[in-house]
Amino acid sequence: MKFGTKAIHAGVHPDESTGAIMTPIYQTSTYVQEGVGKHKGYEYSRTQNPTRHALEKNIAAIENGKFGACFGSGLAAIDCVIKMLNPGDEVISTNDLYGGSYRIFKTIFEKYGIIFHFVDMQDRFNVEAVVNSKTKLIWVETPTNPMMNIVDIEAMSKIAKRAGAVLAVDNTFATPYLQNPLDLGADIVMHSVTKYLGGHSDVVMGALVTSCDEIAREMYRIQNSSGAVTAPMDSFLVLRGIKTLHLRMQRHCENGEKVARYLTTHPKIDKVYWPGFESHPNHEVAKKQMRGFGGMISFTLKGNNLEDALLVVKKTQIFALAESLGGVESLIGHPATMTHASIPKDIREQSGVVDSLIRLSVGIEDAEDLIEDLNLALA
């Protein structure tokens, strides 16, 4: 079954009682049992809910995985993965990590004795240099947020397997439409479903997908025990959003390329970060593991002046100044003061998140209007 068909049909069946083609919103906390332990597969909605169950099967299918679990946010999904570790375990991650991921690693889990290493993962030798017998998890973002760096998932998988570690990939930027980390050797895929999977800026949710039975048992145990599950209504909205994921991503990619190429021609712009450029350091890796280059772009202004960057993000009319990404509408943001403000300035700047860096989430509007909007803001 090809991607578009899976996006629309996987995990979803007409309601048996009414024939409704859309999965009902099972807005219930509990389920009546015929006798003690005799029920229809559902006991309590923290543990399992039919609407959420349909979504979890759908997301697993489009990621070519066997098991899916949905959470109240992307960070709740990350929280689940780190809770699979023990004090003394070590994690290797990228040095240009999303600010929220960095924050939960450093301010929540580090105090429980889990050790985190942040390295430039564009070169696998940097990862191999810090792998040791205590390495239990390699956490990858690709493309990274916001520097759009590309990490070779197959290379990271080989390192993880040699070390006996789990490889988890944050696939939020690429989505299953462009990239399937499980097929490339990853053990776990994470999504901030809030972004492209939901696609309409109306839901906060996270998800994990795996094909490993042992990891799945732990994933569901922690999901149920910690209780950070998503609600039935949100599950319904994301099921609806995923039905058009392939169509939306096609347009995001088309618009992203047009905007990226326009930005390279503007005299006030210094650097443009987008993995579709042949000049991108890991462009060949991106071509190998992705089916397109997406709608996320970052760029810096000449002079690296904070005030100039803040003025540009304030002046756009179609690009809305807001956090998040992946919705049908275009967004503009300033990572250093918004999404990555929780990362200390010196660490932030070492990875390229300088004061003039601006991040775009290119939506599905008409590309000509988006380019004109940026042109006026940069004038």
Annotated active-site residue 217? The verdict is no
pLDDT in tens, 363-378: 999 999 999 999 999 9
Compute the distance between CA of residue 184 and CA of residue 154 in angstroms, rounded to an integer.
5
The one catalytic residue among 170, 234, 355, 373: 170
CATH class for the domain made up of 245-378: alpha beta
Amino acid 190: pLDDT: 98
Annotated active-site residue 161? The verdict is no
Amino acid 239: pLDDT: 98
Q: Determine the residue type at 237.
A: L
Q: List phi, psi (to 5°) of 370.
A: -65, -40
Annotated active-site residue 124? The verdict is no
Compute the distance between CA of residue 345 and CA of residue 306 in angstroms, rounded to an integer.
13
Q: Give 376's contacts (C-beta < 8 A, 6+ positions apart).
A: 315, 316, 317
Pairing of strands 296-301, 358-361: antiparallel
Would you tell me which CATH number, out of the four given (3.30.700.30, 3.40.640.10, 3.20.20.70, 3.40.630.30), belongs to the domain 3-242? 3.40.640.10
The one catalytic residue among 6, 83, 136, 195: 195
pLDDT tens string, the chain, 379 residues long: the values are: 999 999 999 999 999 889 999 999 999 999 999 999 888 889 999 999 999 999 999 999 999 999 999 999 999 999 999 999 999 999 999 999 999 999 999 999 999 999 999 999 999 999 999 999 999 999 999 999 999 999 999 999 999 999 999 999 999 999 999 999 999 999 999 999 999 999 999 999 999 999 999 999 999 999 999 999 999 999 999 999 999 999 999 999 999 999 999 999 999 999 999 999 999 999 999 999 999 999 999 999 999 999 999 999 999 999 999 999 999 999 999 999 998 888 888 888 888 999 999 999 999 999 999 999 999 999 9
CB atoms within 10 A of CB 242: 29
The one catalytic residue among 46, 124, 240, 258: 46
Taking CA atoms, 60 is separated from 67, 70, 280, 325, in Å, by 6, 10, 31, 22
- Strands laid side by side in the 115-119 sheet: 67-71, 206-210, 188-192, 166-170, 135-141, 90-94, 115-119
The one catalytic residue among 6, 52, 98, 102: 98
Amino acid 342: pLDDT: 81
Burial 136-152 (b: 16+ CB within 10 A, else e): bbbbbbbbbbbbbbbbb
Residue with tokens 């803040």, as numbered in its chain: 310
End-to-end distance of the chain based on CA atoms, in angstroms?
A: 48
Q: Does 245-378 match 3-242 at the fold level?
A: no
Amino acid 266: pLDDT: 97
Compute the distance between CA of residue 269 and CA of residue 302 in angstroms, rounded to an integer.
6
Annotated active-site residue 348? The verdict is no
Amino acid 117: pLDDT: 98
Cβ contact 90:82 at 8 Å: no
- How is the chain split into domains, by residue range? 3-242, 245-378
Burial 4-33 (b: 16+ CB within 10 A, else e): bebbeebbbeeeeeeeeeebebbeeeebee
